[in-house]
Amino acid sequence: MTPLQAATRETFWTIGPVGKAAFYWLAALAIGVFLYGVYARFAAYARGSADPRDRLSNLPGRVVAATKTVLSNENQFDGDLYAGVMHTFVLWGFLVLLVATTILGIDMDLYRPLTGESFWVGEFYLAYQFAVDAFGLLFVVGVGMAGFRRYRSRDGRLWGKHTSLEDDAFVWTLFLLGVGGFLVEGVSMVGQPQRATETVSFVGMALATGLETAGLTTAGAETVYGVLWWSHSLLAFAFVAWIPYAKPFHMISSFANVVARDERAGARLPNVPADLDHTNAESLDDFTWKELLDGDACTKCGRCTDACPADTVGRNLDPRDVILDLKSYRESVSDDPVAGSGGSGTMATDGGVASADGGVADSAAASDGGTVPIVADEGGVIDAESMESCLSCMACMDACPVDIEHLTSFTKMNRQLVDEGAVDSNLQDVFQDVMQRGNTFGESQANRGDWADALDDVEVPDARENEVEYLWYVGDYPSFDDRNKKVARALARLFDEADVSFGILFDDEKTDGNDIRRIGEEFLYLELAGHHVETFADCEFENVVCTDPHSYNTIKNEYPEVDFAEFADDPMMPFEREEPWNSEGEIGVFHWTQVVEELVEAGRLDLAGDELDYTVTYHDPCHLGRYNDEYEAPRELISATGADLYEMPRSRDDSFCCGGGGGGLWTEHDEAVKPSEERLREAVEDTDAGADIEKFVVACPMCTTMFEDGRKTGNFEEDVEVVDVAELLIEAVETGS
């Protein structure tokens, strides 16, 4: 047998029979504690309420997709190369070391007893050793990168109210496991001269050389090896047993969360059942198993908070803290064996539960699980102001690498506040206007189509009386707001220029309900949806086209999900419809930029592509971009005008919200700077064209309103002009004609 064929090593070198038996007993104990902890965690999720989404349909496909997402680390790389590389090194290093340990266990405990031979020899052994050293080194480097980022600055996104000793313990345990494994290998190679030619173990070889240079002899290595080996083994067993009870559990819960994700979460909110006993967020019993899993999947990475525009401008909202506060409260009142173990990093100030505003819910009240409200102005687990600060922009969800669905839980708590009548007085006024007048302006519905009166050369047909290709849902702001009426007129002229068959609903069009729903007024939203689908049924059209991305989102994604039959007999619901609307997608629902882009491509608008020479930047509306993945149509239309488009640093799915979503258009907040002001500053200071930017282009009426306000309050009136894509287009068409 050649040296290559004989290559192997003694697994339990210097460890006697008693030590070997103790090793197996401790391994079994650690695995048992681990399995019980995992079982207890998932048993706790099972006690959560049923989730309205089918989270486990096509489970094999979900597992495959989640495996691809996790192994590729694609979410970690999104917007943060350093974190992506770091996490890739740690994940792949950990997985290869785990697989290597499993392979060795199979050889030792199954293959050898059954065959009397070992496959852990020769070329396989050498390849195994090389892989272990290579990926073990990546693992150590990755953990080192994690430590460097965590400790170089203690005021970054990794630090907050839920930062605790478990975070330090997790990083240092991984680091000691990685370094300890190499140290054991190096000492072993010094003590076993036959391994001197095992150059594939390049890290161990380098350590062995260094140790020998430092004076370690073969006899000395044999003496200290047992202490090092046991130290490494005991730390490994402790880590395995600890996983389900603390932060390391995210290695399991995060994967499960990605498996159970809803690809359209946020864009379509869960429906509320027609149940008089139904509550939204009155207690923990109202949260679904997926929402409970969200809490355990959170790694405290802070990406959601970093991306949150409300937090950026100083509002009382930290998305990470909301998720972790809910988790901390759940653990404080739970009788689960794994709860209250410090796994969430609960701030145990005087034994209390940390609340979202930094206060502490009384621990005695928390212990009975019934006297601490989930969300309230004072004394709740979550501060009501935090929920009122949310812009429903989905930046937190887009940034989250483990698919936590913040907006679903946030809306649940908003619904609870509405149920209790504990919402901002301005929002109460909006609800009243919508209930009594059908719009958020409190204007007479009879005036809804008056914006079209100034169109002397364009006829705006009534879709209730004419068969049309496109039923145009105009929306509140283009109908009633003087600034946005200009956008509606520009779009009407574009449709007319392209000879589009369109019509509007005039006074039968009401508020679409998208933001009403996200503020928490679910039943008012249902009334609006029922009214509109019944109105749609009385019209003849092929597609719906929307001016506002908010309208586009809810008509496209949420109206088809309403079970109208469940509410048809409710005397409070002013509709009789029982059939679902557009559940098969037979009616196309579009944002106007998507429709007009096709018209431009078809040559139905006479554009040469050089009509305008403005230097512009474009703001991606949240409901068009992050909600519905439409980024190209508006940009194509801007390019078609000849304008020179420069992207802001935060664009596309990283776009920074204008501040108007989630009711932000109707409320006032104590904030250092308005989101619209911060966004305009970015346009004229951080964009490559800088002060040369002439026009700030938008594709959303709410954005137009917010940015026009931000121009005034932020003193940008002399710096940049806010225009809608439709206004830019019609100027180009008229310039070229």
Q: Domain map of the chain by residue range?
A: 13-46+81-258, 283-419, 425-600, 607-736
Q: Given pLDDT bands bounded at 50, 70 and 90, which one contains residue 5?
A: low
Rounded to an integer, the average pLDDT of 88-103 is 96
Residue 113: both structure tokens together: 């007893």
pLDDT digits (tens, 9 = 90+) for 119-150: 999 999 999 999 999 999 999 999 999 999 99
pLDDT for 679 beyond 60: yes
Residue 72: both structure tokens together: 């590729």
pLDDT for 549 beyond 70: yes
d(CA 514, CA 477): 14
Does residue 197 contact residue 138 with C-beta atoms inside 8 Å? no
pLDDT at 335: 64
Q: Which of 33, 36, 102, 95 is closest to 240 using CA atoms?
A: 33
Residue 547: both structure tokens together: 């001016």
If residue 616 lies in a helix (H) or strand (E), which one and from where to where?
strand 615-618
**For residue 474, how many other CB atoms are within 10 A of its CB?**
30
User: Among all chains, which residue has been given the structure tokens 């364009």?
Assistant: 458
> Beta strands 353-354 and 360-361: pairing type?
antiparallel
3-state secondary structure of 361: strand
Architecture of the domain made up of 283-419: Orthogonal Bundle (1.10)
DSSP 215: T
CA distances from 564 to 570, 580, 581, 641 (A): 10, 6, 9, 44
Between 460 and 341, where is the model more confident? Answer: 460
Q: Which of 8, 20, 17, 29 is closest to 229 using CA atoms?
A: 20
> Beta strands 543-546 and 502-503: pairing type?
unpaired
d(CA 180, CA 233): 9
pLDDT for 646 beyond 60: yes
pLDDT for 277 beyond 90: no
pLDDT at 671: 86
Poorest-confidence range of 3-12, 317-326, 635-644?
3-12
User: Among all chains, which residue has been given the structure tokens 């004394």?
Assistant: 379
pLDDT at 356: 40
d(CA 128, CA 111): 17
pLDDT at 144: 96
- Give 649-711 as a DSSP string: SS-GGGPPP-S-GGGGGG-----SS-HHHHHHHIIIIISTTGGG--EEEES-HHHHHHHHHHH
pTM: 0.92
Does residue 725 contact residue 697 with C-beta atoms inside 8 Å? yes
The separation between the first and the last C-alpha atoms of the chain, rounded to the nearest angstrom, is 89
Architecture of the domain made up of 13-46+81-258: Up-down Bundle (1.20)
Rounded to an integer, the average pLDDT of 698-704 is 98
Q: Which of 51, 586, 72, 13 is closest to 289 using CA atoms?
A: 51
d(CA 76, CA 82): 9
pLDDT at 256: 97
Q: Please determine whether the domains at 13-46+81-258 and 283-419 fall in the same fold group of CATH.
A: no
Number of H helices, E strands in the chain: 31, 12
pLDDT for 107 beyond 90: yes
Length of the chain: 737
Rounded to an integer, the average pLDDT of 23-44 is 96
If residue 595 lies in a helix (H) or strand (E), which one and from where to where?
helix 592-601
pLDDT at 4: 63
3-state secondary structure of 721: strand
Rounded to an integer, the average pLDDT of 405-433 is 96
Rounded to an integer, the average pLDDT of 571-600 is 94
Rounded to an integer, the average pLDDT of 720-731 is 98
pLDDT digits (tens, 9 = 90+) for 169-190: 999 999 999 999 999 999 999 9
pLDDT for 366 beyond 50: no
Does residue 452 contact residue 489 with C-beta atoms inside 8 Å? yes
pLDDT at 355: 41
Alpha carbon 90 to its chain's center: 22
**Amino acid letter for position 36:** Y
3-state secondary structure of 380: coil
DSSP 265: B
3-state secondary structure of 526: helix
- Give 293-323 as a DSSP string: HHHHH-----HHHHH-HHHHTT-S--HHHHH
pLDDT at 576: 87
pLDDT at 343: 42
d(CA 352, CA 358): 11
pLDDT at 354: 39
Query: What mean pLDDT value characterizes the chain?
Result: 92
Phi, then psi, of 658 in degrees rounded to 5: -70, -20
d(CA 703, CA 466): 32
How many Cα neighbours within 13 Å face the side chain of 313?
21
For domain 607-736, the question of CATH label 1.25.40 is answered with: no
Residue 377: both structure tokens together: 């102005």
How many Cα neighbours within 13 Å face the side chain of 337?
12
Q: Which of 559, 533, 522, 506 is closest to 431 using CA atoms?
A: 522
3-state secondary structure of 520: coil
**Which residues have a Cβ under 8 Å from the Cβ of 251 and sit 6 or more positions away?**
243
d(CA 475, CA 483): 13
Alpha carbon 429 to its chain's center: 31
- Give 549-572 as a DSSP string: HHHHHIIIIIGGG--HHHHTT-TT
d(CA 481, CA 700): 13
